[in-house]
Amino acid sequence: MIIPARKMELIISNVLRYGVILCGLILAVGIIMGFMEPRSSIATQLPDLLNGQRVVMIHPELSDKVILLGLFLLISLPTARVASTVILFLLEEEWIYVGITFFVLTMLIISFIFGKKL
Amino acid sequence: MTALNSVRQMHPHFSSPAFFEAALFGISIIAGAFGAMLGLGGGFIIVPALTLLFGVKFRYAVGASIVSVIATSSGAAASYVKDHVTNIRAAMLLEMGTTLGALIGVLLSGFLSDRFLFLLLAAILIYSAFSMAKSRRDRHASVEESDAMAKKLKLASSYPDHFLNQEVPYGVTGVKWGLLIMLAAGVLSALLGIGSGTLKVPAMDMIMRLPIKVSSATSNFMIGVTAAASAGAYYAKGDILPILAAPIALGVIIGSWIGTRYMMKTHSLWLRKAFIAALLFVALQLCLYAWRLRS
């Protein structure tokens, strides 16, 4: 093992921390854009939302896409962490935990894929 | 009809997107800061704020809140790992339960009424309030020797105790029950948009006999993955609205940074008492809201 296991976990966790900051920046940009576009979610969805209605985004503006990208990245961070942990256990030849972490990874991926049907 | 509708008629500013986004942003910074200081998820603040104050549909509040839970957990993950207190194997093993539970929760959310969910959230808030009130004093003796299942899974580990200035080894037991409770924690996390730390820590502490510091750190470590398991589905369903999730996630990111940076993890008694009182107050409001929904 070139890099000890604990150090790897620390590296992964730091990647998460910087990932969060990056997502924050993307979201900030998206919000500002949302105020500048007249047909963005931010500009148009408020009345329906406050009335407790269902809100559907018919035509996502660029600001919406930017925000959704930032949110997608944010949600993917734990999945990335688990995927790295699978590799970690593979390298350590801890087969039981490869199985365990792979199960968790599968659950996370199923969530995205079957979200619509769940 | 929500309270804010009548307020809106009086003050036209309240229907301005700028004000709304700013309000969400501000509330989220506070939620993030308190979450970091008290070691509790900001999810307890966000869902009630969105539903009670702004009349947002429960599912959208959950969607926004669950994203903020991921943000706080991922942002702080490094500090939990760095101190070598987190038991990563235990975390991964128990995440099998929480992620499966989260998917079940997403499924259930389509069948449960908003009214039931409000009451469920109120129940969890009350439980958390009582947990906070009694904690700290009860220390469950940790186990020296792991049970058979824990041995097979090599869960036993050690952690550095700064008071004793040495590595303290511990064993683990009660794996099956722990997993079962984690399943429930996952379901609740998905249904209510919370981190479920209040269920995870007692499960690890009382049933699996992990030292309290390890339980705490491991729970915080697990929360992000649990939340992601439901967030993915909600994202795919379109229940995570940019207008809500963006300012809230951003606010929580900044708030938790402030909370960890500028305030020590405070065991200040008055802060905890104030928070317990707030939890109970909000629980009451949720019950009243649920009661009004019936008619």
Average pLDDT, chain B: 85
- pLDDT confidence band for B1 (50 / 70 / 90): very low
Q: Could you read off the pLDDT of B254-277 as tens digits, one per residue?
A: 998 888 777 665 556 777 788 889
Residue A109 has pLDDT above 60, yes or no: yes
Mutate to test the interface with A, among B13, B243, B252, B289 (most CBs of A within 10 A): B243
Chain B residue with Cα closest to A17: B75
pLDDT at res. B100? 96
What is the maximal distance between C-alpha atoms in chain B? 66
Q: In angstroms, how far is the first alpha carbon of chain B from the final one?
A: 12
Q: Could you read off the pLDDT of B130-141 as tens digits, one per residue?
A: 887 876 555 666
B88·A31 Cβ contact <8 A: no
Contact list, B8 vs chain A (CB under 8 Å): 50
Residues 220-249 of B with CB under 8 A from A: 224-225, 227-238, 240-247, 249
Q: Could you read off the pLDDT of B156-181 as tens digits, one per residue?
A: 888 887 777 778 888 888 889 999 99
The residue type of A22 is L
Q: Which of B152, B225, B246 sits opposite A104 (nearest CB)?
A: B225
pLDDT at res. B48? 93
Contact list, B50 vs chain A (CB under 8 Å): none
pLDDT at res. A38? 86
B82·A20 Cβ contact <8 A: no
Cβ–Cβ under 8 Å, residues B275 and B266: no
User: What distance in Å separates the CA atoms of residue B251 and residue B244, rounded to the nearest whole number?
Assistant: 11
Residue B40 backbone dihedrals phi, psi, to 5 degrees: -110, 155
pLDDT at res. B41? 66
pLDDT at res. A6? 67
Q: Could you read off the pLDDT of B111-127 as tens digits, one per residue?
A: 999 999 999 999 999 99
User: What distance in Å separates the CA atoms of residue B19 and residue B98, rounded to the nearest whole number?
Assistant: 37
Size of interface A-B (CB pairs under 8 A): 214
- pLDDT confidence band for B236 (50 / 70 / 90): very high
pLDDT at res. B38? 73
Chain A residue with Cα closest to B252: A24
A115·B55 Cβ contact <8 A: no
A9 CA: distance to closest CA in chain B (Å): 7
- Segment B77-88 shows an average pLDDT of 78
pLDDT at res. B139? 60
Cβ–Cβ under 8 Å, residues B172 and B90: yes
| Higher-scoring residue by pLDDT: A72, A39 | A72
pLDDT at res. B155? 82
Residue A101 has pLDDT above 60, yes or no: yes
Q: How much of chain A exceeds pLDDT 90, in percent? A: 53
pLDDT at res. A45? 85
B77·A16 Cβ contact <8 A: yes
A42·B21 Cβ contact <8 A: yes
CB atoms within 10 A of CB B171: 18
pLDDT at res. B133? 80
B74·A115 Cβ contact <8 A: no
Chain B residue with Cα closest to A78: B225
A4 CA: distance to closest CA in chain B (Å): 13
Residue B3 has pLDDT above 60, yes or no: no
B21 touches chain A (CB under 8 A): yes
Q: Which of B57, B75, B107 sits opposite A20 (nearest CB)?
A: B75
Distances in Å between the Cα of B159 and the Cα atoms of A97, B86, B88, B203, B242 are 20, 8, 12, 19, 41
Q: Could you read off the pLDDT of B186-224 as tens digits, one per residue?
A: 999 999 999 888 888 888 888 888 888 888 888 888 999
pLDDT at res. B227? 95
Q: Could you read off the pLDDT of B25-74 as tens digits, one per residue?
A: 999 999 888 887 776 766 888 999 999 988 899 999 999 999 999 998 88
B64 touches chain A (CB under 8 A): no
Residue B5 has pLDDT above 60, yes or no: no
> Three-state SS across chain B?
CCHHHHHHHHCHHHHCHHHHHHHHHHHHHHHHHHHHHHCCCCHHHHHHHHHHHHCCCHHHHHHHHHHHHHHHHHHHHHHHHHCCCCCHHHHHHHHHHHHHHHHHHHHHHCCCCHHHHHHHHHHHHHHHHHHHHHCCCCCCCCECCCCHHHHHCCCCEEEEECCCCEEEEEECCCHHHHHHHHHHHHHHHHHHCCCCHHHHHHHHHHHCCCCHHHHHHHHHHHHHHHHHHHHHHHHHHCCCCHHHHHHHHHHHHHHHHHHHHHCCCCCCHHHHHHHHHHHHHHHHHHHHHHHHHHC
